[in-house]
Amino acid sequence: MKKNIYLSQLIECFKNIELWEKRLPSFETDETLEIPAEKIKSVFTEYFTRLGNSYPFFHRQYAGQMLKPPHPAASLAYFTAMLINPNNHALDGGPETSVMEKEAVQQLAKMFGFKNYLGHLTSSGTIANLEALWVSKSIYPEKLIAFSKEAHYTHNRMCSVIGAKFIEIDTDSQGRIDTEDLEEKLKIYPIGTLVATVGTTGRGAVDPIHKLLELKEKYNFRIHVDAAYGGYFILLAEDSKRLIEPEPFLSISQCDSVVIDPHKHGLQPYGCGSIIFRDPSVGKFYKHDSPYTYFTSKELHLGEISLECSRAGASAAALWVTLKCFPLKPNEGMGPILAKTRKAAVKWAELVNKSQYLEILSQPELDILVFFPKSKSLKSSLISKLSENLFNSAINNKNFPVYLAKMKLESKTLSKNFPEIVLDQEYTTLLRSCLMKPEHLNFIPELHKYIENLAKEIRDKT
């Protein structure tokens, strides 16, 4: 990426902030806020040294956790707005960035097919899901909230926060919610809301929302879609190349609410999540007043439809700028980026399927691949040991470090795919790779060869 373009734009950011500041008479900064030049230099020298110990999330050799580098355009937009420091809780706290937030959320809602909606940005997907579950609890105070065993672990925690009872649903061999187990539990338990996941954070599984809607019609419950990770892939749903299975994505428009995290696949800095409700009338649950906050306009303040108070207007500004640069379209802007990350996972899965030394857990539905080194005996303890050894060998290679992630999976869940496995421990450690960067696509052959060679070496030593 041509950094000089963004360096010159950074100078423009400072110039524009200076022009903005000059609209009012200048004044001297109070002496209590002054820092001697030598102290600034000393502190930042230490600071840069400390930051230098970070993992290289920007690089294609980082293929581990869900850490996608923000686009420089988003970072510049965030930085510029941060110097103004708007707060999007009330319109007088962020008069312009609040409008940007509404415009950005409108585009996200349109992407999912929501026409009349209520939505806003949040500081994270966790808070966005909390709001969705809180509304669910408000609608059905005595009913259960259901989610799959491979859904995000915070659903369990957030139910505890809001005092809601919950129930877990089994998953199939692909990590998707088991519709048969769901229906059995719908017959027995009073389930008010089902959380459907589009892109589980473990292996990127996509729950069959189109089938869940059929059960909704029969048993009358709400469906909340946790698309924090996989939501943007809806842009590929109408592609004739069928890079993804379109039915679950195209069914989101019929669900009651959806969460998406722009700080995952949306090229945003942390933290930027979003919650969107299909029915605007749920705003009644948020209704509250403040003796000093909502006075500048009769228009809806974003704080009136959010559980959070202070929220960074800089997040809205960064997302707004990014959507101007990368529109939410299948064949331009965001779509081609996602197509490459998806193709990277498919490509690596094909190579692993042919490998003598690596085994895939299940075929990837998005851009997350879970695999493990083949062992001489299929024991869960040995698989864990080989996975740990491969992880450590890859990350500690000083000449060519490769950053993978580890995933702990219930051994009995693993046996759904490998019935011959010897379950000699409750959980099995596997390797996981989130191929979130478009640059991963061309890197896959080299990455696979490197990881396969490590797996061979480790197996030969065992």
Give 311's contacts (C-beta < 8 A, 6+ positions apart).
Answer: 87, 88, 89, 121, 122, 123, 302
pLDDT at 92 over 90: no
Whether 274 maps to a domain, the answer reads yes
| DSSP sequence for 272-302 | -EEEEES-GGGGGGT----SSSS-S-SSPPG
Name the domain count of the chain. 2
Provide the pLDDT for residue 375.
87
- Locate all alpha helices (DSSP H) within 52-153, ordered by sequence: 72-84, 95-112, 125-139
268 alpha carbon, distance to own chain's centre: 11
Residue 20 belongs to a domain: no
Ranges 26-30, 302-306, 435-439: which has the least confidence:
302-306
Rounded distance between C-alpha atoms, residue 373 and residue 384, angstroms: 9
Report the CATH number at residue 147: 3.40.640.10
Could you tell me if residue 422 is inside a domain? yes
Q: Which of 119, 370, 155 is nearest to 256 (CA)?
A: 119
Which residue, 325, 348, 374, sits at the end of a domain?
325
**How confident is the model at residue 460, as a pLDDT?**
87
Domain that holds residue 301: 81-325
In a domain, 66, yes or no: no
Which of these three, 325, 346, 375, is where a domain ends?
325
Q: What is the mean pLDDT of residues 153-175?
A: 96
pLDDT exceeds 90 at position 3: no
Both 412 and 438 in one domain: the answer is yes
Using CB atoms within 10 Å of the CB of residue 59, give its burial: 0 to 12 exposed, 13 to 18 middle, 19+ buried.
Answer: middle
> What integer pLDDT is reported at residue 23 of this predicted model?
94
Q: What percent of the chain has pLDDT over 90?
A: 90
Residue 201 has which token pair? 């954070």
Tell me, yes or no, whether 281 and 392 share the same domain.
Answer: no
pLDDT at 289: 75
118: in domain: yes
284 and 343 part of one domain:
no
Sorting pLDDT into bands at 50, 70 and 90, what band is 238? Answer: confident
CB 86 within 8 A of CB 235: no
If asked whether residues 226 and 119 sit together in one domain, one would say yes
d(CA 314, CA 397): 38
Is residue 292 very low, low, confident or very high in pLDDT (cuts 50, 70, 90)?
low
Looking at the fold, whether 360 and 229 belong to one and the same domain comes out as no
Q: What's the whole-number average pLDDT of the chain?
A: 95
Same domain, residue pair 453 and 344: yes
Domain boundary residue, one of 307, 325, 343: 325
The pLDDT, as a whole number, for residue 142 is: 97
Domain presence at residue 41: no
User: Which pLDDT does position 1 carry in this prediction?
Assistant: 62
Least confident of 285-289, 371-375, 436-440: 285-289
322, 71 in Cβ contact below 8 A? yes
Q: What confidence tens digit (pLDDT) does each residue in 178-215 have?
A: 999 999 999 999 999 999 999 999 999 999 999 999 99
Mean pLDDT of 23-32: 94
pTM here is 0.95
Q: Does 276 lie in the same domain as 321? A: yes
Cα torsion angle, 238, 242, 247, 251, sign: negative
Do 246 and 270 have their domain in common?
Answer: yes
Residue 251 has pLDDT above 80, yes or no: yes
pLDDT at 241 over 90: no
The model's pLDDT over 33-78, given as tens digits with 9 standing for 90+, comes to 999 999 999 999 999 999 999 999 999 999 999 999 999 999 999 9
Chain center to CA of 210? 22
Q: Where are the beta strands (DSSP E) in 190-240?
A: 191-197, 222-226
Residues 374 and 253 in one domain: no
Task: Give the whole-angstrom CA distance, residue 251 versus residue 233.
Answer: 13
For the beta carbon of residue 368, count every other beta carbon within 10 angstroms: 26
Give the pLDDT confidence score for residue 307 in this predicted structure: 92
| Residues 136-145 pLDDT 10s | 999 999 999 9
Residue 2 lies in a domain: no
CATH no. for residue 409?
A: 3.90.1150.170
Residues 342, 368 within the same domain: yes
3-state DSSP call for residue 223?
strand
- Residue 24 lies inside a defined structural domain of this protein: no
**Residue 273 and residue 134 share a domain:** yes
Is residue 266 domain-shared with residue 171, that is, in the same domain?
yes
